[in-house]
Amino acid sequence: MAHVLVIDDEDLARFTIGEILEDCGFSVTAAVNGIEAFGCLDRMDNPPDVILCDLRMPEMGGVEFLRQLALRKYAGAVIIVSGLDELTAEVAEGLAKYREINVRGRLSKPFAPDELVAAVRRVLDGG
């Protein structure tokens, strides 16, 4: 069973994304920001197959989380999830790729459940 780490400070978004993915057979861990996400990662025996990361969050936002993730040499896949404008999300993705983070997609909020599932499956299938 593939494991997904969902990082989003919006309770409804985090819960809904988790429910959708769990209903499709994925194992899900959720965090409200980058600090909590690193706590989750530190407790995991194996890293998640995919990290879904929001960009704007309190305490440690998505861009800083991705920077720290690069320092940890995380080799798994990341999908950026954001309600910010397209240019901001594109710049964040570019910075993450520059730091050699394996960014495999971007979802703009709001998105349909089938878009979410398709993005995660595409990553897991190597597409």
pLDDT at 86: 79
Query: Can you tell me the mean pLDDT for 105-120?
Result: 94
Query: Can you tell me the mean pLDDT for 64-87?
Result: 89
Domain ranges across the chain: 3-124
pTM of the model: 0.92
Q: Which of 9, 10, 27 is nearest to 18 (CA)?
A: 27
Residue-averaged pLDDT of the chain: 92
- Encoded tokens for 19: 């429910």
pLDDT in tens, 9-32: 999 999 999 999 999 999 999 999
Q: Please tell me whether the peptide bond between 48 and the residue prior to it is cis, using omega within 30 degrees of 0.
A: no
Asked whether the predicted pLDDT for residue 47 surpasses 90, the reply is yes
Give me the architecture of the 3-124 domain, per CATH. 3-Layer(aba) Sandwich (3.40)
